[in-house]
Amino acid sequence: MILIHYGEIGIKGKNRAVFENCLVRNIKKALGNEIEKIYREYGRILVKEGERANYEMLKEKLAKIPGIENFSFAYEVDLDIEEMKKIAMEIAKNEKFSTFKISARRSNKEFPYSSMQINEIVGEEIKEKLNKKVKLENPELTIFIEVGNKKAYVYKEKYSGIGGLPVGSQGKVVALLSGGIDSPVAAWLMIKRGCSVVFIHFYNESLVSSPKKVEEIIEKLTEYQLSSKAYFIPFGTLQYEIIKNVQSKYRMIIYRRVMTKIANEIASMEKAKAVVTGDSIGQVASQTLENIHCIYDASDLPVLSPLIGMDKREIIDMAKKIGTYEISIKPYDDCCSFMVAKHPATKASLDKIKEMEKKIIFGIEEIIEKARTKQYSK
Ligand code: ATP
Ligand code: MG
């Protein structure tokens, strides 16, 4: 039996059922044939694994589903203290330890023993029969007992999930995804917070034959999101248009404004409610507060930048943890080198930018028409 605990969705009042159903749907989708039955009980989700379950694989998949706080592989027993004793003993016999504790939780108040009494009764058994010592703080072994409505669950280990909220419970956003380190982490944080993320990637089709690396990043993020949609937008012509018409130090700002406008249009097609970027204050020239002001001004929708207060070191650590870092550091020329100025403006003025931008003629619909879309699923 797999016992799944969720964190924040436990406290959402009336919406609770909606959140829980969303999480149940996502678990089903992620585990597919691995499971026989799934149902929810107050405060937990219970999954009956298939007979030939691969526990390593289950562990890996569950550890990637947003909304799961922790999970355990548990023995299911009848609501009988003798049964609990028996299974706890069996678990303990197979472990090497000298100190232990029992940690019982009773959500079913009909059960005649309190949590404290369960701890004492089961603890006494192990202490006497195996000659071990009870230690309440930092014991070498903890055996958990949860008393549910119809059954009780006994287990020894809690595996951490990523927390957050179930994907699909918070609406849709579009994320501007480059081939870099930062934007995949930004998109991941939005997925973790329960948003459905549609990816948008711009590339120079005369430099990049196919944005393979970005596809790989999306595949990795789809392990968390479970299904994804992406727009790949050839952008070479427009890059050259910007190079032709704009002084080098302002090119990046105008380039990003144009990307932002197109992202807004795609968001409206997708009914998404925000644009996500991987910006972090001051990290590169286009991310000074003045330039962020100039860039985000091009968006009607809110621009969300979940990395805004993070250091590069912290972003890299997170990228490694989620598995995008190794893909992001592969070489990739998505952007013409003329776009990147030697001395970019760090304090652009919005009026000046808007004036220069008038020279750039482009049709948003036309550009979107050239986009290739792709669906991913886990
Ligand atoms: P990243 O590591 O995400 O590329 P960065 O620190 O290198 O970020 P920039 O390259 O200036 O900074 O990009 C800032 C943000 O603009 C990115 O995080 C991303 O959201 C968006 N962006 C940049 N280039 C592209 C692109 N080719 N396609 C889509 N979005 C992009
Ligand atoms: Mg970049």
Nearest ligand, measured from the Cα of 180: 1
Residue 336 reports pLDDT greater than 90: no
180-216 per-position pLDDT tens digit: 999 999 999 999 999 999 999 999 999 988 899 999 9
Q: What angle do CA 141, 108, 38 make, to 5 degrees?
A: 80
- Ligand number, closest to the Cα atom of 202: 1
| Distance in angstroms (rounded) separating the CA atoms of residues 290 and 296 | 10
Ligand number nearest to the C-alpha of 344:
1
Closest ligand 1 atom, residue 335 Cα: 27
Task: List, for residues 129-150, the tens digit of each pLDDT value.
Answer: 999 999 999 999 999 999 999 9
Average pLDDT over residues 314-343: 91
Average pLDDT over residues 101-123: 96
CB 74 within 8 A of CB 82: no
* Whole-number Å distance between alpha carbons of 102 and 118: 8
Contact 319, 328 (CB under 8 A): yes
Q: Which of 277, 216, 246, 220 is nearest to 353 (CA)?
A: 246
H or E element at residue 36: strand 35-41
Q: Which atom of ligand 1 is nearest to the CA of 276?
A: 20
DSSP strand pairing (99-106 vs 141-147): parallel
Which atom of ligand 1 is closest in space to residue 280's alpha carbon? 6
Q: How large is the average pLDDT for residues 111-121?
A: 97
DSSP state of 298: T
Element (H, E) at 376: strand 372-377
Which residues make up the environment of ion ligand 2, defined by Cβ < 5 Å? 178, 180
pLDDT in tens, 342-360: 899 888 899 999 999 999 9
Tell me which of 174, 183, 203, 299 to substitute to probe ligand 1's pocket, judged by most ligand atoms within 8 Å of the beta carbon: 183
Question: 367 CA distance to ligand 2 centroid (A)?
Answer: 21
Pocket test for ligand 1, best of 178, 261, 329, 337 (most atoms within 8 A of CB): 178
Lookup: tokens for 70: 């922790």
SS3 content of the chain, % helix, strand, coil (to 5): 45, 20, 35
Please give the mean pLDDT across all residues of the chain: 94
Tokens found for residue 60: 């890996």
Contact 74, 154 (CB under 8 A): yes
- Tell me which ligand sits closest to the C-alpha of residue 263: 1
Separation of alpha carbons 31 and 160, rounded Å: 17
Half-sphere exposure of 273 (CA within 13 A, CB side): 6
SS3 label, residue 135? coil
**Residue 11 reports pLDDT greater than 70:** no
**Which residue has the CA at smallest separation from atom 23 of ligand 1?**
178
Distance of CA 278 from the midpoint of ligand 2 (Å): 9
For residue 12, pLDDT over 70 is answered with no
Could you tell me if residue 13 is left (phi over 0), alpha (psi between -120 and 50 degrees) or otherwise beta? left
CA of 335 to the centre of ligand 2 (A): 9
173, 174, 176: residue to mutate for ligand 1 pocket, most atoms within 8 A of CB: 176
Confidence class for position 42, pLDDT limits 50, 70, 90: confident
| Mean of pLDDT values over 231-247 | 94
DSSP 149: S
- 3 state SS of 162: coil
Nearest residue to 338 (alpha-carbon basis) of 258, 242, 201? 242
Per-residue pLDDT for 44 more than 80?
yes
Pocket of ligand 1 (CB under 6 A): 176-178, 180-183, 200-203, 256, 259, 277-279, 283-284, 286, 334
